[in-house]
Amino acid sequence: MAPGSRSSQRVPRAALTASSSSAAPIGREPWPVVPAGVVPVDRAEQHGPASRVGRGHCFQELFQGILERLDAGEIVIGDGGFVIALEKRGYVKAGPWTPEAAVEHPEAVRQLHREFLRAGSDVLQTFTFYASKDKLENRGNYVAEKISGQTVNEAACDIAKEVAKEGDALVGGGVSQTPSYLSGKDEAEVKAIFRQQLDVFAKKNVDFLIAEYFEHVEEAAWAVETLKESGKPVAATLCIGPEGDLHGVPPGECAVQLVKAGASIIGVNCHFDPETCLRTVKLMKEGLEAAKLKAHLMSQPLAFHTPDCGKQGFIDLPEFPFALEPRILTRWDVQKYAREAYNLGIRYIGGCCGFEPYHIRAIAEELATERGFLPPASEKHGSWGNNLSMHTKPWVRARARKEYWENLLPASGRPYCPSMSKPDNWGVTKGAAELMQQKEATTEQQLKELFKKQMFKSNIVA
């Protein structure tokens, strides 16, 4: 990178001054929320680098990329789930889950990026999930007729880079699994799909690349190989559990294949809750150790409890995608996850579907000791609920402490509902006719056949 390039403007990664903690209120950790002077983020650019929502660094320093950070032993906090969050905000269509909102409603995408940045994310992923050409025109989702894949990918890069500059974040350009692979297209065809997105990432000069949300390690390896053509660092995550990928390749072996394909960071994302994901990453780690390979570890689990999931993850749960609410993680669940991920040696710690900004903040707060600072959004959040000491009601003030929240077993308020569900478990995977994709909308006749075939029934009222 040339001197004076954008990256050199990044705020430095210096040690924190201890003095900042002198007047910490009750329960507040002795780490600064940075920057101390609250600056509305939408005015940040007028102020230049010094006022950026960043990490409290006090002097200029060379910008560091994802691998430099991880190699130095730093914790890198990822961001949360865009499609689920933006669906709830009204900008993404559940079903196709495609990211055309980057073009249609850039302000909404920008705002979500900002919130994750404030919450502590060190990486902003471009909102390019399922932005491959074949997905934008799958099963009646006629996005591609109005907006080209290139337009979507470019808009997403622009937004992410714009917001990243407001802080000290890296931009990761992301690709994910394709309908083409599922429909049996060959390696060359599938790689060509990835390459279309990669061309945009290269042009927009993102900081690194992420191949995420792959159910089959074979396709993920193809993605990694394609992304490596750029020369940038590549991270790769599968959406698998301890049983391995949908073709039955165990996690340890998956990890080996991804590293051999060129990934520097490997792990899992989506499909399972933190506990299940960490068990899976542990198996990956052991696989790498057995193969004497090295890579950084990464986890971006769901913010939903899924102890009852089968191999296919939360997609199989009867509650997916419109009744997952009772499963949403609390911030305290996330703190537990962050600690356990850290203890397992994972240093790229983020979330996926269901992770809202406050979940990401919980990662940053749990690991504030290790990181030495709190994220900007902690200006509005006392650790372990200590701001409740300002509540009007005395019994709520009595909850302003760690032991309370750490030990609470929250009720659902749903006594007519069960605790666990039987997953759908159709057991079809790549190769099954039912998984062949089509550009046209699913017909009424096709739907009727599916309705008839629906096997899950355990918590449907007859």
Q: List the interface residues with a second copy, window 122-141 (CB under 8 A).
A: 138-141
Peptide bond into 3 cis (omega under 30): no
- Residue 254 annotated as binding site: no
Q: Work out whether 23 is an interface residue with a second copy (CB under 8 A).
A: no
Which residues touch 67 (CB under 8 Å, ≥6 apart)?
A: 208, 233, 264, 296
Please, which residues have CB within 8 angstroms of residue 192's CB and are 6 or more apart in sequence? none
Phi and psi at residue 78, in whole multiples of 5°?
-80, -175
Instruction: Examine residue 24 and tell whether it contacts a second copy (CB under 8 A).
Output: no
Q: Position 109: which residue type?
A: V
- Beta partners for 236? 211, 266
285 binds a second copy (CB under 8 A): no
Tell which one of 315, 339, 372, 402 touches a second copy (CB under 8 A).
315
User: What is the per-residue binding string for a second copy in 68-107, x denoting contact by CB under 8 A?
Assistant: -------------------xxxxxxxxxx-------xxxx
**Euclidean distance between CA atoms 222 and 138, whole angstroms:** 21
- Contact segment (CB under 8 A) with a second copy among 34-42, 160-168, 336-344, 365-373 equals 34-42
CB of 246 to a second copy, least distance (A): 11
Closer residue to a second copy in complex, CB, 294/453 = 453
Binding residue (CB under 8 A) for a second copy from 57, 69, 113, 114: 114
Closest contact distance (angstroms) between CB of 424 and a second copy is 4
Query: Position 349: which residue type?
Result: I
* Residues 161-190, interacting with a second copy (CB under 8 A): 179, 182
Residue 407 as a binder of a second copy (CB under 8 A): the answer is: yes
With respect to a second copy, which residue has the nearer C-beta, 101 or 295? 101
Q: Is 405 in the site for a second copy (CB under 8 A)?
A: yes
Q: How far apart are CA 235 and CA 255, in angstroms?
A: 11
CB of 269 to a second copy, least distance (A): 17
Beta carbons of 197 and 173 less than 8 angstroms apart: yes
Cα 144 versus chain centre, distance: 25
Angle between helices 274-290 and 331-343 (to 10 degrees): 10
- Distance in angstroms (rounded) separating the CA atoms of residues 361 and 363: 5
According to the binding rule CB under 8 A, does residue 451 interact with a second copy? yes
The least distance separating a second copy from the CB of residue 12, rounded to whole angstroms, comes to 24
Residues that contact a second copy, how many (by CB under 8 A) = 122
Between 88 and 203, whose beta carbon lies closer to a second copy? 88
Q: Which of residues 323-352 bind a second copy (CB under 8 A)?
A: 323-332
Q: What is the DSSP string of 67-120?
A: HHHHHTT--EE----HHHHHHHHT-S-TTT---THHHH-HHHHHHHHHHHHHHT
Interface residue with a second copy among 7, 20, 148, 389 (CB under 8 A) is 389
- Of 184 and 345, the one with the shorter C-beta distance to a second copy is 184
Nearest to 378 by CA among 36, 15, 104: 36
357 binds a second copy per the rule CB under 8 A: yes
Is 277 annotated as ligand-binding? no
Q: Residues annotated as binding site for Zn(2+)? A: 270, 352-353
